[in-house]
Amino acid sequence: MPNADLSQILQVLSLLASALLIVRLITTGLWKCYPVFFWYFVFRIPNTLWPLIITNHTALYQHVWMLTEPVAHLFHVFVVYELCRLVLQNHRGIFTLGRWTMYFSVVVAVTISILTFLPHIKPRATDDTKRLGYEIAFSRGIDFALAIFLILLLFFLSRYPVKLSRNVLTHATLYSLFFFGQAFSLFLRTLFGTTANNWTNLLTSMLSCACIFAWAFLLSPKGEETTAKFLGMSPRREQNALRQLESLNATLLKIARN
């Protein structure tokens, strides 16, 4: 089967999976627990639908992409913010540090990405080409910053026995996979150019579909009541890690108040 046909099938599957996830979040009431995540997938419905209608490699396709892509990346920032808040809701001091770290890293990464793009602008480049280049640099910067932040968040969860609901732990794991797939795809397209578009899009679409279906079937009202940990550790090590965690949180709370 040609890559184009398979890509369209995966886009349709992604659309159906997103619709299923939205229905599940509404019927279970979990959309109230994950509002940004819910609205992100509401946005994904039309954002997945329009590429099936508008032919690729046309001026209209490029214009619509340039309008919707910044919205998608802003949603990525707010979804990661919401995920950080859910993971650290009992540790406000660490959450405050994490929030400002995320904001700072996004600004720095986007700035560096745009600055590294500037030398590649050709004098004869059209305004549309320049805007497209800036937008790709913007997207690359945000993806890089959020990828680093998610790695740090997962590292934190592996180091400290933070008790989370099963839903939050599932959500954190799946969103990390979902986001890393998209970020890695953008990285490969940046590295290899348009020659990598077909197979990177297919791999990203497969991973996205798998993650969305997993969200739809694994998130449940019961999962909000069941606690879980990212990794298990011995009771003695867990006790020491908890003391370190509470001490760090208390110190950061004092700094924030001052």
pLDDT in tens, 200-225: 777 888 888 999 999 999 999 999 98
Residue partners of 235: CB distance under 8 A and separation at least 6 = none
Q: Higher confidence at residue 146 or residue 202?
A: 146
Highest mean pLDDT among 131-140, 145-154, 164-173: 164-173
The answer to whether 256 and 63 have CB atoms below 8 angstroms apart is no
Q: What is the pLDDT of residue 258?
A: 66
